[in-house]
Amino acid sequence: MIEPGTQAPAFTLPDQDGNDVSLSDFAGCKVVIAFYPQDFSSVCGDQLSIYQEVLGEIRERGAELIGISVDSSHAHCAFREHLNLKITLLSDFHPKGETIKAYGAYLEDRGHANRSLVLVDEDGAVEWVHEADTPLEIPGANLIFDALAASGASA
Does 8 map to a domain?
no
The answer as to whether 4 is a domain residue is: no
- pLDDT tens-digit series, residues 43-63: 999 999 999 999 999 999 999
Tell me: the pLDDT tens digits for 88-144?
A: 999 999 999 999 999 999 999 999 999 999 999 999 999 999 999 999 999 999 999
| Residue 95 neighbours by CB under 8 Å, 6+ apart | none
User: What is this structure's pTM?
Assistant: 0.96
How many whole angstroms separate alpha carbon 73 and alpha carbon 20? 11
CATH of the domain at 125: 3.40.30.10
pLDDT digits (tens, 9 = 90+) for 138-155: 999 999 999 999 998 665
Check if 29 is active-site: no
In a domain, 95, yes or no: yes
Q: How many domains does the chain have?
A: 1
| CA pair distance 38, 145, nearest whole angstrom | 24
Please pick, among 2, 21, 31, 44, the residue that the annotation labels catalytic: 44
For residue 7, tell me if it sits in a domain. Answer: no
Residue 33 to residues 56, 68, 109, Cα–Cα distance (Å): 16, 7, 22
Host domain of residue 55: 14-150
**Domain-embedded: residue 6:** no
Q: Is 5 a domain residue?
A: no
For residue 1, being part of any structural domain is answered with: no
Q: What share of the chain is helix, strand, coil (3-state, %, to 5)?
A: 30, 25, 45
Q: Does residue 155 belong to any structural domain of this protein?
A: no
Query: What is the spatial distance between Cα 88 and Cα 63, in angstroms, rounded to a whole number?
Result: 13
